[in-house]
Copies of this chain bind each other. A is one copy, B any other.
Amino acid sequence: MNITVWNEYRHEQENEQVKAVYPQGIHEVIASFLSTEHNVTTATLDEPEHGLTERVLGQTDVLIWWGHKAHEEVDDDIVARVQQHVLDGMGLIVLHSGHFSKIFKSLMGTSCDLKWREADEKERLWVVDPTHPITTNLPSYIELDKEEMYGEHFDIPTPDETVFISWFEGGEVFRSGATFKRGNGRIFYFRPGHESYPTYYNEQVQQVIHNAVKWAQNTHTPKHHYGNAQPLEIIKPKNDDSQ
């Protein structure tokens, strides 16, 4: 499977605290643990065409997206191109603050707004769909000692499947793992991963992402026949006064 990990890659270059956690960027950490099983490349905002050329997307089975402070700098034409590839069958994993990315909002049709708080607080992600393939090899919950909080209401369409619900130390809950089908594409939103915490080094978080890319890969992309269609049955002539 060919995976492309896209990262905004700004916090890690501009903020010493974040750089200390992800010296080569969040994308390199994710690419690293996925590359044990898959063919993984990376792309970032400041590359030409954000690294998401037609050629790159044409060869991508699953795209992973991390963005936060520069959503507005992502070119609308590139967003439309990514959306088309999702509809054509490319899987998409949207991480954490990617909830506010143009690509996620375009596919959802809603504001994707939520509550948030940065307070070094504990998060516990409970599995609520325990036979879902995205929960393979996981215990009944994942505990993260320090994370940013995201709280309900999360303004998304009703997910096709709700896989995780988070408990936060400060008193909120959140639908932290949610799947959506759009066109031929499978989309998974996964909440954790604030840039200042070492969340993507957590083995259970890595297991979720491993499971998610397998789930999102579309091994069966049918060719639809849209547009003008010949009748399959005889259509009787109607008289002019009918109806």
A binding-site residues for B, Cβ under 8 Å: 83, 87, 89, 106-111, 113-117, 119-122, 124, 126-128, 130-131, 133, 135-136, 140, 144-146, 149, 151-155, 157-158, 160-162, 165-173, 175, 180-184, 186, 197-199, 202, 218, 220-222, 224-233, 235-238, 242-243
Q: Would B173 and A222 count as touching, CB distance under 8 A? A: no
Contact of A109 among B108, B144, B225 (CB under 8 A): B108
Contacts of A152 in B (CB 8 A): 126-128, 165
Q: How far is the CA of A220 from the CA of B207 in the complex (A)?
A: 14
Q: Would B131 and A230 count as touching, CB distance under 8 A? A: no
Given contacts A171-B233, A227-B115, whether A136 and B220 have CB atoms under 8 Å apart is yes
Q: Would B113 and A226 count as touching, CB distance under 8 A? A: yes
Contact of A221 among B131, B222, B237 (CB under 8 A): B131
